[in-house]
A and B are shown apart, each in its own frame.
Chain A
Amino acid sequence: MTDNIVEIDNLSFGYKGRLLHKGINMAFPRGKVVAIMGGSGSGKTTLLRLIGGQIKPTQGEVRVDGMVVHEQDRDGIYQLRRKMGMLFQHGALFTDLSTFDNVAFPMRELTDLPESMIKDLVLMKLNAVGLRGAHALMPTELSGGMARRVALARAIALDPCIIMYDEPFAGLDPISMGVICDLIRSLNDALGATSIIVSHDVKETFLIADYVYFVADGVVAAEGTPHDLMQSPLPFVHQFVHGEKDGPVPFHYPAGNYQSELLKQRL
């Protein structure tokens, strides 16, 4: 029994000859909120999918609760996934089901609980995210923030040990952002679970994360507590954390000589 519920060990992953991840090492201790941050396209969401077993690593291992994910057979993977809950970027609610049915979905599919119990559990979960009154609404009738919260209720429907968040703050208004931020932390502590947040929202993430991994160029460029990272001397971290226009990630896309391009008749 290790202290880490998820371990990523020397992971490499790539498509078509190009490696996205080159030897990543991460550890996610039980009961903590850990954030994975980095620029767009750095492979953060892919890491979540590797943990969830949706894709297999090219090299290295991902271990969940001691078991190597990509070595499991179909049943093994489904057993692992029952311990996980995932919140997708825009909620990914099932549009043909009502809010109630969406939250009830994992319970109906994966357990044999009677409907009366399911009703109570669903209302409990919706209450936890503050949307018990919206249980009859269809996903298309919900605002973005509300949909995200319903998706969160669905993610915790079976009280998972690992909750993964894919860009939970993307595209939300400040109030909703604050709500989600608060919910992630409080639910994590209430359930005794481990939360893995993939995000590039520095302000909110630093408020709730216990530990942060920075991914750039396929490796872990930096790691530490939010406090450490705010004061990191590394130029990349500095640029990211303070939102600077120019730095290791350049402002200008590589281009030819400006003067000669202006002077030419045609490009």
Chain B
Amino acid sequence: MIARVWRLGAGARLFFLTIIYSGESFRRFHLTLREIYFTGVMSLLIIIVSAFFVGMVLALQGYNTLQKYGSSEAIGVLVALSLVRELGPVVTALLFAGRAGTAITAEIGLMKTTEQLSAMEMMAVNPIARVVAPRFWAGVISMPILAALFSMVGVLGGYLVAVPLIGVDSGAFWSQMQANVDVRADIINGVIKSVVFAVACTMIALFEGFDAPPTAEGVSHATTRTVVISSLTVLGLDFVLTSFMMVV
């Protein structure tokens, strides 16, 4: 138990150091750019395909229930709100933790195992500024973009199922949606959530990699821990943020 609290403290320390040494991530932006490519662009495929399927399933399941109450035209609202408020940020975060998070943890863990981080230190290069901070900012930039893409593609997937497939009226689909999805309450809240999740997931991935025991076994355990802890943190934060946003 004490060990967990200690690790939380160490994680917080790494977070603050990352923020403090972030100057270089922006002065030499190509470092961050490279990481955005590896965390963001490489996650595009899984995010878009998942979003499509999630949107389609939402439309199918939603229609099934809504048409019992004669409200099948509310399907646009159902799909859009579910995605924009919850599924977009949360599922994106979970997928991101699984794909990009584990990649980050494994990469940094391996760099530690092969003494690359020590080598950097001995060459008077701060590994936190050079390795950790660019990846952090790349994650914070990439994930909200991925979440927005998730929501948009999900809505399109829902549209494709609802209108051509099931036969809901196209105009009703969009107009009901537009009437009920508020930019401030829903979309911006979704963006806020995805930014918070991005900070959490990326930081957890970075810390687990940085702190991993420098053995093959240690790195593999660290990647597993990244996925588990990120997922639980995202779901917990989601609850906290949602209740916050309902009050405010």
Contacts and interface: CB of A to CB of B under 8 A. Distances in A.
A77 B122 CA distance: 10
Interface in A11-62: 52, 54
Given A92-B114, A95-B114, A86 B125 contact: no
Contacts of A82: 124
B119 interface: yes
A54 B114 contact: no
A224 to B, nearest CB: 29
Nearest to B38: A96
A94 B107 CA distance: 11
| A-side interface mostly | mixed
B114 A106 contact: no
Interface string A71-101: 0000001110110101011101111000000
B182 interface: no
Contacts of B111: 94-95
How many interface residues does chain B have, given as a range?
10 to 19
Interface in B86-129: 110-111, 114-116, 118-119, 121-125
B123 A54 contact: no
Contacts of B118: 54, 88, 92
B35 to A, nearest CB: 11
Contacts of A81: 121-124
B116 A95 contact: yes
A105 interface: yes
B123 A106 contact: yes
A262 interface: no
Contact of A92 (B115, B124, B125): B115
Interface of B: 110-111, 114-116, 118-119, 121-125, 130
15 contacts: A52-B122, A54-B122, A81-B122, A84-B122, A86-B122, A88-B118, A88-B119, A90-B114, A92-B115, A94-B111, A94-B119, A95-B114, A109-B124, A110-B123, A110-B124
Interface of A: 52, 54, 77-79, 81-82, 84, 86, 88-90, 92-95, 105-106, 109-110
Nearest first, the 6 A-B pairs at minimum CB distance are A78-B124, A92-B115, A81-B124, A92-B119, A86-B122, A88-B115
